Chain A
Amino acid sequence: MKLVISEGSPHGIKVLAAAALWAGNVEIQRLQQEEKVVPFLSQPKLPALQLDNGNFLFTTNAICRYLFLSSGKDITDLSNQWLEWEATELQPACIAALHSHVVQGKKKEEAILNIQKCLIHLDQSLGKENHPYIVTDSLSVADVAVWASIYPLFTSLDSLPDNLSSFKSWFKNVSQLEECQKAAESLLKGQGASAFKAFLQKLPTPVLPAEKPACN
């Protein structure tokens, strides 16, 4: 199978880490910019994983799921819930925070306020469950998906919020894994989040929808 990623896109971190952790034989192709690879999608959408039968997977979480399942592991309901949360809430919030920091020049601390709610949710859940990873005692696809979305905002681990201690120790744990570190560094190239500037500039300014009051 072949994993196609685009240089300078933060979405590559997640799938490169998953490939390093759970798959032995993945060919990795790096394209200089967003190119059209998946034949049925009209807009360029990378990363993409081309399977040996020619079929494509085109979302980062689907790619991670496939690699994780292929390594003989199982995805639980709780992992599904974290992956769904990552795709619908965390990922858009992180991209918006990155955009406001890297493109609009907001201070990092201010930009991080965009994801504060998500970090608190994660911290509380990690604290409550009392195991080192998000769903169990061992690293799962949910850890990698959630970690990779947040990582570009905390490339220097010393800026992690002290008041969220469970989050902080979990984040350090995952960041220190060799596979995760290599995946991130191969895209960040020592430049921190500004490595993603060109990619982020092409995005329409992300607008986080205002929170609506919860229904009954």
Chain B
Amino acid sequence: MAVDELGALEKCLGLKGGKYSCKAQGGGQVPVLQINKGPSLSGLATIASYLVKEAKKEELLGASIEEKTIVQQWLEYRITRIDRLASKEDVRCILKDLNLYLEDKVYLAGNTITLADILIYYGLHPIIADLSIQEKETYINVSRWFSHIQHYPGIRQHLPSLVFIKNRIYTNLH
């Protein structure tokens, strides 16, 4: 799955497809990229960051030291939290946190789109696809952000577009 996602990211960055394999690590599958000029790289966040540099789109890794760190922090959140959800309660917990975090933000790090938005979007896609309309309204900031990122040119790739309703139906929330 991570390999498909890196394929989508390559397309989105305008790169040719790389040579991938995967190996067992930490109880899951970790993608490995074979690089022509050097040793292989493993791990979703590591490879994704490498691809962005290969495509000469460093701006997607954040401009300042703070933004660079925040981008990497959300990539870590993706691989340690979103990829290891064990229960409904875990799902509620991450959606609640992201919803609060995104309350006053358009993007996860800084004022433009970064790799953090792209990989969290890919990681949340199956989770958001499972939410009811009412749940999408509960996590209104996540929904707004998600809808924005999926319409961002080139990012969605093979993933189905998810539907969000502009006008609230459940007016008793909040």
- Interface residue count for A (Cβ, 8 Å)? 37
- Does A81 contact B70, Cβ atoms closer than 8 Å? no
- Does A214 contact B46, Cβ atoms closer than 8 Å? no
* Nearest B residue to A214, CB-CB: B24
Q: How far is the CA of A83 from the CA of B22 in the complex (A)?
A: 18
- Does B23 contact A69, Cβ atoms closer than 8 Å? no
Complex contacts, B100 vs chain A, CB 8 Å: 39-42
Q: How far is the CA of A123 from the CA of B96 in the complex (A)?
A: 40
Interface of B is mostly: helix
B160 within 8 A of A: no
The A-contacting residues of B in range 10-31, CB under 8 angstroms, are 21-30
Complex interface: stretch among A52-60, A146-154, A188-196: A52-60
- Does A57 contact B27, Cβ atoms closer than 8 Å? no
- Does A88 contact B73, Cβ atoms closer than 8 Å? no
* Nearest A residue to B53, CB-CB: A77
- Does B70 contact A57, Cβ atoms closer than 8 Å? yes
- Interface residue count for B (Cβ, 8 Å)? 36
- Does B28 contact A84, Cβ atoms closer than 8 Å? no
Q: How far is the CA of A77 from the CA of B28 in the complex (A)?
A: 21
Complex contacts, A88 vs chain B, CB 8 Å: 25-26, 28, 30, 43, 79-80
Known A-B contacts: A80-B45, A84-B76, A88-B28. Give 17 more (CB < 8 A). Answer: A40-B97, A42-B97, A51-B66, A62-B70, A65-B69, A66-B69, A77-B41, A81-B41, A81-B46, A84-B44, A85-B43, A87-B76, A88-B26, A88-B30, A93-B26, A208-B27, A214-B23
Chain A residues near B (Cβ < 8 Å) = 39-43, 51, 53, 55, 57-59, 61-62, 65-66, 69-70, 77, 80-81, 83-85, 87-89, 92-93, 208-216
